Amino acid sequence: MSRPVDNLDDALQAAISRGLDALTPDQVERLAAILDERPDLAAQLADRIPVIEPQLADALAQAERQSLPSTGAWSRAWDRIADAQPKVARRTRVGPQILRLWRPLAAVAACLVLAAAWWIGTPRPPTAPPLRLATDLEIDRLEVYDGDTPFVVSIGDSGAVIIWVLEERS
Amino acid sequence: MPPLHVEPEELRVVDRAAAGDSAARRALFEQHREAAYRTALRITRREEDALDVVQDSFIRAFDRLAEFQRESGFRTWLLRIVANRALDVLRTRKVRQAVPLDPGDESRGPQLAAPDTSAPPGQELERQELAQRLRQALEALPADQRAVFALYATGEMTYGEIAAALEIPIGTVMSRLYHARRRLFEILPDLATPGVLANTGRAT
Amino acid sequence: MPRPVHVVSLALALMLSGVAGAADEPKDNRKPVDVDIWVIRASTKSKDISPELKSFADKLKQRFKYTGFRLERKIKETVDLGKTLTTSLTGGYQALVTPKAREKDKGAERLALQLQVLKEKEKKPRMNIEYKLEAGAFQPFGAWDLEGGDVLIILLSAK
């Protein structure tokens, strides 16, 4: 049976050496609050891997084994991932061609220098700060026109969504 | 946090994958897909969502290989993407479930396996029943505890890595993990080490 | 030396102004709501993006076919809880925004709102939604047909 610990220093050392089970719920909350404020103390825990009981790991493996995708499903998943990859253009040999093109290239370079000078000299409007989108939306009720269909579409990876109504007439 | 040891061979594969080598990317996919899937499943609790999360996560990872800092292994970095993508799916699902957009979807609750009464008696049956009870217990965890538990259950990630993956402080990781384990062991005391529940004030 | 009656009068005046001030000042969770609506025209025929919409447009372009996003107008109004702001958007559309409540959730302020989007001369709203979100954050809604194949998107925030 785990021996309860007396103070927070001991609690942190117990968490490190014996695991979280050595602590009471109250000690965990107080220790968590202090660790959130004290990165130096949190660093003592940072490189520890929390222990998982073999029987729990075993039960998880068993529970998940039945849900693993089939070979065919994995193959289809890879096909979709591969399709999403950008195609890499084949390189062509350009060395000798550049030597023949030096006059037109010099003209293009001169134009670019002039354009850059104009751009630097032109006052530009100040950059607007990014919009802060909601990331914790909770919908209580949503009604749309007959025949229209509402969608909740994730945008970005911060949890933001857009409520998108697809009109029947579209 | 001290830098972790990263296998040189893995770094070579990652370098080739970053350069667009399809075979290297496939190798990374095959090596890490199962860990990614298990993590996604633990968070989303739905097989089809978990597979979508794995696909999206690998696409994103390959797109951002240049950002992989190499102070942790590729798997840890990938699981960070997986966890966040899975939580994204959960948030969208939470919004959808507040409003039944498609009456057919209302019946799509969590898919719990029915007990297999045709299974062989004895130890195998007990294991399967335990597995089902564990799935149901995980389903009952709040999403934030489930996300921490999902990464903890890989058995490979440190407190610091879990904190970085979920962008929460280490103290919060500790607290959520403690409560997740406590809830699981209250429902499934046979999985707990003897004495684990002693400090909660409950009799063991 | 002021006469006692003047001191008493002054004290009374100070007390009453304090009470009146307290009565005039609404409690935090009843104070009026600042509503901010951005009216956006999204198009497939243009690639122009208003500078304030750059980050938002980048996100939407990953999901939808629209390439141009023009900020047509911004509407800022202060509305009492339970009251409805009615405002024109563009293309004959109107928005009705009703802030319903302020809440605190783990120290962060959230607002409960109702938004209706209507087209002129139609009795039933195109969309009627009640939702809660963090104060000051923008929630996007779309997309309603405009002429030329463009669509209306709105961003709504309340704090």
Q: Residue C150 to residues B74, B157, C117: CA-CA distances in angstroms?
A: 43, 48, 17
Which of A70-79, B102-111, B114-123, C47-56 shows the lowest per-residue confidence on average (mean pLDDT)? B102-111
Tokens encoding A65? 């084994």
pLDDT score for A163: 93
- Range(s) of the domain holding residue B156: 117-204
**E strands in B93-138:** none
User: Mean pLDDT across chain B, nearest whole number?
Assistant: 78
Range of the domain at A148: 134-170
Residue C91 CB partners (closer than 8 Å, separation 6+): C144, C146, C147, C152
Please name the chains neighbouring B, where neighbouring means 3+ C-beta pairs under 8 angstroms. Answer: A
Question: Is residue B103 predicted with pLDDT exceeding 50?
Answer: no
Based on the fold, state whether residues B104 and B127 are members of the same structural domain: no
* Signed CA dihedral, C53, C58, C63, C64: sign only: positive
What is the per-residue pLDDT for B104? 39
**Residues A40, A60 within the same domain:** no
Say if residues B42 and B21 touch (Cβ distance below 8 Å): no
Q: Does A105 touch chain B (CB under 8 A)?
A: no
Contacts of B194 in chain A (CB under 8 A): 1
Interchain CB distance below 8 Å, C144 and A169: no
- Whole-angstrom Cα distance, residue B50 to residue A66? 14
Lowest-confidence pick of A10-14, C1-5, C122-126? C1-5
Q: Do B159 and A46 touch (CB under 8 A)?
A: yes
Same domain, B2 and B100: yes
Residue A126 lies in a domain: no
Query: Quick one: B69 and B132 in the same domain?
Result: no
With beta carbons under 8 A apart, name residues in chain A contacting C128: 141-144
| Distances, alpha carbon C128 to alpha carbons A160, B74, B105, C124, in Å | 20, 46, 21, 9
Structural domain of C107: 29-158
B127 touches chain A (CB under 8 A): yes
Beta strands in A95-148 (DSSP E): 138-144
Judge whether C12 lies within some domain. Answer: no
Structure tokens at B149: 């538990």
Q: Which of B51-60, B105-114, C124-133 has the lowest mean pLDDT?
A: B105-114
Residue A166 lies in a domain: yes
* Cα nearest neighbour of C60 on chain A: A155
Distance CA C128, CA C125 (A): 6
pLDDT at residue C15 is higher than 70: no
Tens-place pLDDT, residues B23-49: 899 999 999 999 999 999 999 988 889
Q: Which residue has the higher pLDDT, B132 or C97?
A: C97
Among residues A147, B101, A164, A168, the alpha carbon closest in space to that of C143 is found at A164
Residue B182: left if φ>0, alpha if ψ -120 to 50, beta else—which one? alpha
Q: Which pLDDT value is given to residue C110? A: 92
pLDDT per 10-residue tile (average), chain A, 170 residues: 60 79 86 86 87 86 86 91 70 46 64 66 58 89 84 81 78
Tell me, what's the pLDDT at C2? 53
Query: Starting from the edge strand earliest in sequence, which strands make up the sheet with C108-119, in order?
Result: A138-144, C127-134, C108-119, C93-105, C85-88
**Could you tell me which of B85, B83, B84, B106 has the C-alpha nearest to residue B96?**
B106
- Examine the domain organization and report whether B123 and B163 are in the same domain: yes
A143 and C126 within 8 Å at the Cβ level: the answer is no
How remote is the C-alpha of C135 from its chain's centroid?
10
Number of domains in chain B: 2
Residues of A in contact with C138 (CB under 8 A): 131-134
Question: What's the confidence (pLDDT) of residue C39?
Answer: 95
Percent residues over pLDDT 90 in chain B: 33
Domain termination residue (choose one: B108, B137, B153): B108
Q: Residues C52-92: pLDDT tens digits?
A: 899 899 888 888 888 999 999 999 999 999 999 999 999 99
Based on the fold, state whether residues B73 and B94 are members of the same structural domain. Answer: yes
pLDDT-above-90 percentage for chain C: 58
Specify the number of domains making up chain A: 3
Contact between chains at B204 and A1 (C-beta distance less than 8 A): yes
CATH, residue B182: 1.10.10.10
CB C93, CB A112: distance < 8 Å? no
Q: Domain check: are A67 and A35 in the same one?
A: no
Answer whether A96's CB lies under 8 Å from B64's CB.
no
Q: Rounded to whole angstroms, how far apart are CA atoms A109 and B132? A: 69
| Chain A residues with beta carbon closer than 8 angstroms to that of B42 | 60, 64
Q: Say if residues C121 and C94 touch (Cβ distance below 8 Å).
A: no
State both tokens at A31.
């220790």
Query: By C-alpha distance, which of B152, B156, B145, B1 is closest to A42?
Result: B1
Q: Residue C21 domain-assigned?
A: no
% of residues, chain C, pLDDT over 70: 82
State the smallest CA–CA distance between residue B21 and chain A in angstroms.
10
Identify whether residues B100 and B122 lie together within a single domain.
Answer: no
According to the model, what pLDDT value does residue B95 have? 58
Q: Which residues pair with C78 in a beta bridge?
A: C34
**How far is residue A78 CA from its own chain's centroid?**
21
Smallest CA–CA distance, residue B36 to chain A, in Å, is 11
pLDDT in tens, B164-177: 888 899 999 999 99
Residue B151 has pLDDT above 90, yes or no: yes
On whether any CB of chain B is under 8 Å from the CB of A107, the answer is: no
- Last residue of one domain, picked from the residues B51, B80, B108: B108
Instruction: Enter the tokens of residue B51.
Output: 């597979």
In a domain, C105, yes or no: yes
Cα dihedral C138, C140, C144, C145, rounded to 10, equals: 90
CB B90 within 8 A of CB B96: no
